[in-house]
């Protein structure tokens, strides 16, 4: 293995930093607009880095940022259709701005993860332009081209794309179909082609050489498909995986998704999770390992948690981390969350390190997902406490820390192709991508111009300025929690164990344990007070943090009283 010297811009240090880090996802278009054009930009992000971490508990205290793409893109899928992997879209700034962003972030000990969207490119990427120019172009085989079937020239097989519709589009000029797992403007790369792999790894090295600390891998479970392109079987032939979130533990919407024919009445056995993809990810890991202290986190989607866990390889030869999305699909129930975590802990290889998120740019924000009966705000605190204290790296989605809610936008304002196509059945993903709410001004302090999407609801209280000085605010809860976790090795590295004895069924409790020190987390999912007996695990506990900010200074606890919807973090005294 060649270990490169740290590039000029790199942060030196702990190769395992990503296991201790709190991550923050920025959707660059919506974070901060510095030039008034209504789009977020890199300078805007630089201007707000101190908010994220200025080295003091007055800031949020995050350790790493994952940026959704800011590469040149025709924006058919808002950056997830990349037209040039090694440049910055001028609307976001220049490469010099990017270098400054890395430098300024690193100066604050904030690491940088980029979004590597490598299942597909934009149809405007020069690679595809060449590939589609003629059947014998040298890049023809960089994408997946096939003849039509039969005299009617039907598509090569029955595969459907993930935004609904056929996965094949006919190209008039060269008389063949090409494959696309998403929009027709997002043609899939052919990962069986060695030149494609080399080209992608060159992109990876390009950014690592500029000092980035790792990558989030977009839909990495789709990279390789069945080389014979066999038809997927119909949905009724689906066998329920042994290891999955049971219907009773899933949100209603996810159950509808699974039982009303997702994904489009077929079982995707031939176009997802192909064994060759694991070989690609192992090769990618070797590229990352050429550099010190890099990391990766995969977006691997699927129903079978056993399959999802396999993307860790042995635990250290494939993905560093892999989001476990079942956590986002749990219905509001202590048991559902507990079983979900227990399943993942049980399935992971010993060295594997979990990554958890409750919100991102593709799903309804958690605070709105769980807002039944107006409980969203209280539940957001409980979820924050859980996210930050589970074993694994937490990913916070921008605005989650101030309780930004999902916006319900009318069709005419929708930008996301999913919403535009399926409205009102599906409003798409714009509702989770609205501008960061810095203040209660009309454009939320995000822009001096007109934001590309309208600002979200309840701007009066859900903004940074309003919450900054309010000790009871969600923002200040996040700040206390994150800074507290930094000082507690047991929370960063300790083993996880669920507590069941002495715990009411509608509470979720667990222990974190490290070399004799113990932390307990007790989460009351019910709307009534509850009592948890901690005495079997330790005689005396001290309250380190409650979701109820008025509650401080308690110690000598063995039986913990929880208010409705309250969560507490406790440390064993003398442990």
Residues belonging to the active site: 218, 290
Residue nearest to ligand GLC (CB): 80
Nearer residue to ligand GLC within complex by CB, 67 or 541? 67
Taking the complex as a whole, the smallest distance from the CB of residue 438 to ligand GLC amounts, in Å, to: 24
Nearest distance from C-beta of residue 361 to ligand GLC, angstroms? 6
Q: Which residues contact residue 515 at a Cβ distance below 8 angstroms, ignoring those fewer than 6 apart? A: none
Neighbour order of strands in the sheet with 176-179: 145-146, 176-179, 168-171
**For ligand GLC, which is the closer residue by CB, 63 or 299?**
299
C-beta closer to ligand GLC: residue 419 or 538: 419
User: What are 265's two structure tokens?
Assistant: 């009445």
User: Whole-number minimum distance, CB 210 to ligand GLC, in Å?
Assistant: 23
Q: Give the residue carrying structure tokens 């949100």.
A: 251
Q: How far is the CB of 64 from ligand GLC (least distance, A)?
A: 18
Cβ 120 to ligand GLC shortest distance, Å: 7
Strands 507-514, 517-524: pairing is antiparallel
Q: Cα angle at 390 between 385 and 392, to 5 degrees?
A: 125
Nearer to ligand GLC, 27 or 39 (CB): 27
Whole-number minimum distance, CB 454 to ligand GLC, in Å?
20
When the beta carbons of 39 and 66 are compared against ligand GLC, the nearer one is: 66
- Give the residue with the Cβ less far from ligand GLC, 188 or 513: 188
Q: Any idea which residue has 């935004």 for tokens?
A: 163
- Helix then strand count (H, E) for the chain reads 17, 18
**Burial of 152 per CB tally in 10 Å (0-12, 13-18, 19+):** exposed
Q: List strands edge to edge, sheet with 321-322.
A: 321-322, 295-298, 214-217, 111-116, 64-67, 23-26, 393-397, 355-357
Closer to ligand GLC by Cβ: residue 419 or 435: 419
Question: Rounded to an integer, what distance in angstroms lies between the CA atom of residue 327 and that of residue 141?
Answer: 38
Residue 436 near residue 444, CB atoms below 8 Å: yes
- Could you give the CA distance from residue 407 to residue 83 in angstroms, rounded to a whole number? 29
Q: Are strands 321-322 and 295-298 parallel, antiparallel or unpaired?
A: parallel
In the complex, minimum distance from the CB of residue 151 to ligand GLC, in angstroms, rounded to a whole number: 34
Query: Other CB atoms closer than 10 Å to residue 206's CB: what's the count?
Result: 12
What is the rounded CA–CA span in Å between residue 224 and residue 280? 9
Cβ–Cβ < 8 Å for 564, 526: yes
Q: How far is CA 514 from CA 17, 76, 188, 511, in A?
A: 18, 48, 45, 10
| Inter-residue contact 358 to 400 (CB < 8 Å) | yes
Measured CA to CA, the distance from residue 112 to residue 96 in angstroms comes to 16
**Residue closer to ligand GLC (CB basis): 453 or 569:** 453
CA 80 to chain centroid: 14
User: What is the closest distance, in whole angstroms, from the C-beta atom of residue 452 to ligand GLC in the complex?
Assistant: 16
Residues of this chain that interact with ligand GLC (CB under 6 A) are 77, 80, 117, 182, 218-219, 299, 361-362
Ordered alpha helix ranges (H), 313-373: 326-329, 334-347, 366-369
């Amino acid at each position: 293995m060649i270990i490169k010297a740290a590039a000029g811009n790199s942060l030196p240090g702990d190769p395992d930093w990503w296991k201790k880090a709190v991550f923050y996802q920025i959707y660059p278009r919506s974070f901060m607009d510095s030039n008034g054009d209504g789009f977020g930009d890199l300078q805007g992000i630089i201007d707000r880095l101190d908010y994220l971490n200025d080295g003091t508990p007055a800031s949020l205290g995050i350790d790493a940022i994952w940026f959704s793409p800011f590469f040149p893109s025709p924006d058919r899928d808002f950056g997830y259709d990349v037209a040039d992997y090694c440049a910055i879209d001028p609307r976001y700034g220049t490469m010099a701005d990017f270098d400054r962003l890395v430098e300024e972030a690193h100066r604050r000990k904030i690491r940088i993860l980029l979004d590597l969207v490598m299942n597909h490119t934009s149809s405007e990427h020069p690679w595809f332009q060449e590939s589609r120019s003629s059947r014998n172009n040298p890049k023809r085989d960089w994408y997946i081209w096939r003849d039509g079937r039969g005299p009617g020239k039907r598509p090569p097989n029955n595969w459907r794309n993930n935004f609904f519709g056929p996965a094949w589009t006919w190209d008039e000029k060269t008389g063949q179909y090409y494959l696309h797992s998403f929009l027709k403007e997002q043609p899939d790369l052919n990962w069986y082609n060695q030149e494609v792999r080399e080209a992608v790894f060159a992109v990876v090295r390009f950014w690592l050489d500029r000092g980035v600390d790792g990558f989030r891998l977009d839909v990495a479970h789709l990279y390789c498909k069945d080389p014979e392109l066999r038809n997927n079987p119909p949905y009724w032939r689906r066998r329920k995986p042994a290891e999955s979130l049971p219907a009773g533990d899933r949100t209603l919407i996810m159950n509808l998704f699974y039982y009303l024919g997702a994904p489009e009445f077929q079982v995707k056995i031939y176009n997802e999770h192909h064994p060759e993809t694991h070989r690609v990810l192992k090769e990618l890991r070797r590229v990352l390992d050429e550099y010190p202290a890099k990391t990766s986190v995969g977006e691997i989607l699927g129903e079978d948690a056993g399959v999802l866990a396999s993307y860790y390889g042995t635990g250290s030869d494939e993905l560093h981390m892999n989001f476990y999305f079942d956590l986002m699909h749990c219905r509001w129930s202590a048991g559902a969350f507990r079983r979900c975590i227990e399943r993942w802990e049980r399935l992971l290889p010993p060295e594997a390190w979990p990554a958890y998120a409750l919100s991102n740019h593709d799903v309804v924000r958690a605070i709105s997902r769980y807002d039944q009966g107006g409980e969203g705000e209280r539940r957001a605190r409980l979820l924050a406490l859980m996210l930050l204290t589970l074993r694994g790296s937490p990913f916070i989605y921008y605005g989650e820390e101030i309780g930004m809610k999902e916006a319900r936008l009318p069709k005419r304002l929708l930008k996301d192709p999913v919403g535009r196509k399926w409205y009102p059945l599906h409003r798409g993903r714009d509702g989770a991508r609205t501008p960061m709410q810095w203040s209660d001004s009309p454009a939320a302090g995000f822009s001096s111009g007109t934001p590309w999407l309208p600002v979200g609801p309840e701007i009066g209280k859900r903004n940074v300025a309003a919450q900054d000085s309010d000790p009871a605010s969600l923002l200040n809860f996040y700040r206390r929690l994150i800074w507290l976790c930094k000082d507690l090795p047991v929370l960063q590295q300790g083993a996880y164990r669920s507590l069941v004895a002495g715990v009411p069924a509608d509470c979720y409790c667990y222990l974190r344990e490290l070399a004799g020190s113990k932390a307990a987390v007790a989460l009351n999912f019910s709307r009534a007070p509850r009592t948890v007996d901690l005495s079997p695990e330790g005689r005396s506990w001290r309250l380190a943090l409650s979701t109820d900010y008025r509650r401080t200074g308690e110690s000598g606890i063995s039986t913990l009283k929880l208010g409705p919807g309250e969560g507490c973090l406790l440390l064993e005294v003398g442990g």
